[in-house]
Amino acid sequence: MSDKLNTEQLIRTRLDGAELTPSPQSWSAIQQKLRWPQFLRFNPGRFNIYYAGALLLATAGLVLLLTGERDRSEPTIPEEKTNTLSSIESSAEDIAGELVDKSKSTENATTNSGMHPETPTTPSQNKAEPVNERATEGLNTGQGEEDSESSQKK
């Protein structure tokens, strides 16, 4: 009976040196789990976060350097000057537009009153016209009343 084993001995002798084959997916799962922690650690033989950071810094530096050189080679007009130029341009356009409108209105006025279209007119004349008409109308009416009164007295 000396070859008989108790429960612990049985388990120990049968299972201690036992081997089981892992599934084929096991290795790829390990590699997948390793990817991120390995990327976060510095290892001279592997691309990691430190190399990525250095690459990013180098790229940013290069971009800054190139844009700086371009700025130096192309003279630029200061912003204030460009603003004043554009404002001058826009005001000149406005004045030109106003002049065109006024010339059109004077043309209409001369054709209505029978005046020669070629006779030059000033803006003050154009504006004063309707006022004068009204004033003369009023005067005319006043004169008419006075005339009627004087005729009655007579």
| Near other proteins by CB under 8 A: residue from 17, 24, 78, 120 | 17
Assess 154 for contact with other proteins (CB under 8 A).
Answer: no
Q: Does 12 engage in binding with other proteins (CB under 8 A)?
A: yes
Q: Is 80 in the site for other proteins (CB under 8 A)?
A: no
Residue 49 in contact with other proteins, rule: CB under 8 A: no
Contact between 83 and other proteins by CB under 8 A: the answer reads no
C-alpha distances out from residue 82 to 76, 87, 93, 131, Å: 10, 9, 16, 44
Does position 136 bind other proteins by CB under 8 A? no
Q: Do 119 and 110 meet the contact criterion of CB atoms below 8 Å apart?
A: yes
Q: How many residues does the chain have?
A: 154
CB 103 within 8 A of CB 122: no
Distance of alpha carbon 119 from alpha carbon 106, whole angstroms = 10
Residues in contact with other proteins by CB under 8 A are 1, 3-8, 10-23, 26-27, 29-31, 33-34, 37-38, 41, 43-46
